[in-house]
């Protein structure tokens, strides 16, 4: 079996250690020759790189480990690029969130005004990276996790319309399916979902049993709408995630069909969500003080010990859905498994009454030839209206970032359901322009 060379772009990320665990777990199905870590921050890159050397020496000997801040060294002759960058790090996420709250708007990372600011940073960074990858590895598969994924997907499709080896994905629908599986006492891979929408803006229409074809969706709606049946404290440690899944029961109670992506709470209940936010301690602060700090402390401890086996830092068998999903996708592409994944792809009639150029998130079969969307059919009026408005916002944001177009940026913010007001949009845009100097394309 061929052994692959992969590059983790954003290799210094707190998500990388779990990804490495998953690669070790998958070594029989997705064997590696070489793994390269690329990041523009040498200090974090070195931490992850040294940890990887120890991990692979003990759990996956024979794999060459390289970490670098040089694009040519990172991208030359690779088979896969697994991209997970965060332009501006969590410090800029905190800025995004707090500026939005200051103006009476939601400060969420990928939704609303915060997601707009993040998208304006991410688009130019992602496009530049893809150009570099294509310079040194024209045929590599590029699997992109970078947020806000919907806006990034819109931009990559616009700039690289003929490049079908760029695949944009998100682990949130998978995290939701993990929760469904937990509720039903099953495993996520026991299910075959049907889903439509945009990234962070979609609905499950069916949750089929892969063996029997039974649809669990009605049963799940009933359980999730019954608070004493659905105990989130057993599933989530972080308060913000517990609150997110707790609120799902409200959405299910208010709407009569399907199962919503949790992020729809920000668009369908913006005032309720705004009241829960604290300008002095946002989700970015929670992550920086919690998970991010814990991950880097673990890396430092392992490096100091010089080993992992026999210590408190042995990796868990379950690497988490973020790591599992992207490595499973790479495995499907390499081995032609024709498994079903939820992927952002050009609509092209998949949702028959939506814009064919829209980047929809739908179930797709994946094999060595790439991605093939499974037909969804006609989208009902309510959902179609929401999706078309959201798509217009995402499209204008991507274009504003690519073109440096102030008017498109303003119109995008006004279209966003969490902003709407033109005066507020102008004030937000002024503050974001000031805060993002050096990150955004200059707006004219």
Q: Secondary structure of 261-274 in the HEC alphabet?
A: CCCHHHHHCHHHHH
Q: Tell me whether residue 171 is one of the annotated catalytic residues.
A: yes
DSSP state of 142: E
Burial 373-399 (b: 16+ CB within 10 A, else e): beebeebeeebeebbbebbbbbbbbbb
Tokens of 390: 């959201």
DSSP 223-277: HHT-TTT--GGGT-SSHHHHHHHHHHHHHHHHSSSSEE-TTHHHHHSHHHHHHT-
Sign of the Cα pseudo-torsion (99, 148, 349, 375, in order):
negative
What is the reported pLDDT for 168? 98
150/397 Cα distance (integer angstroms): 10
> How does pLDDT run along the chain (444 residues), one tens digit per residue?
899 999 999 999 999 999 999 999 999 999 999 999 999 999 999 999 999 999 999 999 999 999 999 999 999 999 999 999 999 999 999 999 999 999 999 989 999 899 999 999 999 999 999 999 999 999 999 999 999 999 999 999 999 999 999 999 999 999 999 999 988 999 999 999 999 999 999 999 999 999 999 999 999 999 988 765 555 555 556 677 777 778 888 899 999 999 999 999 999 999 999 999 999 999 999 989 988 999 999 999 999 999 999 999 998 877 888 999 999 999 999 999 999 999 999 999 999 999 999 999 999 999 999 999 999 999 999 999 999 999 999 999 999 999 999 999 999 999 999 999 999 999 999 999 999 999 999 999
What is the reported pLDDT for 133? 99
DSSP 3-state of 363: strand
What is the reported pLDDT for 317? 76
110-132 pLDDT, tens digit per residue, is 998 999 999 999 999 999 999 99
CATH of the domain at 65: 3.90.110.10
Q: Tell me whether residue 296 is one of the annotated catalytic residues.
A: no
What is the reported pLDDT for 230? 55
Domains in the chain: how many in total? 1
Residues 27, 98 contacting (CB under 8 angstroms): no
166/410 Cα distance (integer angstroms): 29
Length of the chain, in residues = 444
Task: Specify the pTM.
Answer: 0.95
Of the residues 75, 263, 267, 432, only one is catalytic, namely 263
Residues 198, 150 contacting (CB under 8 angstroms): yes
Strand order in the sheet with 64-68: 64-68, 32-38, 4-9, 80-83, 141-144, 166-168, 339-346, 359-367, 370-373
Residues 6+ apart with CB under 8 A from 213: none
Of the residues 18, 39, 171, 178, only one is catalytic, namely 171
What is each CA distance from 178 to 181, 189, 372, in whole angstroms?
5, 9, 24
178-191 pLDDT, tens digit per residue, is 999 988 999 999 99
What is the reported pLDDT for 242? 76
Q: Which residue, among 106, 108, 150, has the nearest Cα to 419 in the 3D structure?
A: 106
What is each CA distance from 380 to 130, 267, 383, in whole angstroms?
36, 18, 6
Domain enclosing residue 29, as ranges: 1-444
What is the reported pLDDT for 229? 55
143-154 pLDDT, tens digit per residue, is 999 999 999 999
Residues 155, 129 contacting (CB under 8 angstroms): no
What is the reported pLDDT for 243? 79
Residues 6+ apart with CB under 8 A from 290: 238
**Which residues of 121-183 form beta strands (DSSP E)?**
141-144, 166-168
What is the reported pLDDT for 231? 53
């Amino acid at each position: 079996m061929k052994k692959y060379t992969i590059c983790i772009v954003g290799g210094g990320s707190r998500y990388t250690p779990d990804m490495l665990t998953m690669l070790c777990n998958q070594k029989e199905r997705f064997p590696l020759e070489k793994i390269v870590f690329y990041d523009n921050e040498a200090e974090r890159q070195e931490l992850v790189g040294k940890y990887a050397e120890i991990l692979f020496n003990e759990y996956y000997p024979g794999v060459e480990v390289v970490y670098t801040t040089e694009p040519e060294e990172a991208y030359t002759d690779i088979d896969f690029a697994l991209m997970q960058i965060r332009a501006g790090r969590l410090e800029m996420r905190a800025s995004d969130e707090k500026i939005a709250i200051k103006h009476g708007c939601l400060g969420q990372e990928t939704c609303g005004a915060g997601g707009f600011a993040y998208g304006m940073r991410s688009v130019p960074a992602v496009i530049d990276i893809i150009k570099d990858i294509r310079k040194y590895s024209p045929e590599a598969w590029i699997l992109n996790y970078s947020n806000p994924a919907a806006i990034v997907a819109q931009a990559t499709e616009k700039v690289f319309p003929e490049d079908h080896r760029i695949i944009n994905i998100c682990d949130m629908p998978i995290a939701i399916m993990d929760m469904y599986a937990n509720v039903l006492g099953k495993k996520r891979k026991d299910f075959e979902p049907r889903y439509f929408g945009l990234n962070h803006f979609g609905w499950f229409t069916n949750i089929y049993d892969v063996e029997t074809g039974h649809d669990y969706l009605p049963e799940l709606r009933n359980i999730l709408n019954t608070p004493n049946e659905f105990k989130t404290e057993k599933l989530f440690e972080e308060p913000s995630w517990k609150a997110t899944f707790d609120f799902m029961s409200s959405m299910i109670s208010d709407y009569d069909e399907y199962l919503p992506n949790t992020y729809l709470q920000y668009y369908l209940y913006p005032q309720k969500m705004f009241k829960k936010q604290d300008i002095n301690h946002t989700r970015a602060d929670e992550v920086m003080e919690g998970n991010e700090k814990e991950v880097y402390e673990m890396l430092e401890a392992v490096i100091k010990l010089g080993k992992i086996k026999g210590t408190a830092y042995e990796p868990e068998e379950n690497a988490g859905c973020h790591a599992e999903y992207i490595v499973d996708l790479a495995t499907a592409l390499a081995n032609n498994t024709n498994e079903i994944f939820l992927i952002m792809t050009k609509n092209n009639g998949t949702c028959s009454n939506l814009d064919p150029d829209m980047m929809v998130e739908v179930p797709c079969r994946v094999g060595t030839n790439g991605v093939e969307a499974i037909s969804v059919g006609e989208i009902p009026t309510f959902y179609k209206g929401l999706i078309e408005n959201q798509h217009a916002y995402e499209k204008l944001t991507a274009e504003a970032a690519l073109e440096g177009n102030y008017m498109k940026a303003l119109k995008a913010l006004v279209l966003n359901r969490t902003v709407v007001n033109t005066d507020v949009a102008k004030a937000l845009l002024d503050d974001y322009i000031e805060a993002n100097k050096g990150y955004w394309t200059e707006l004219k």
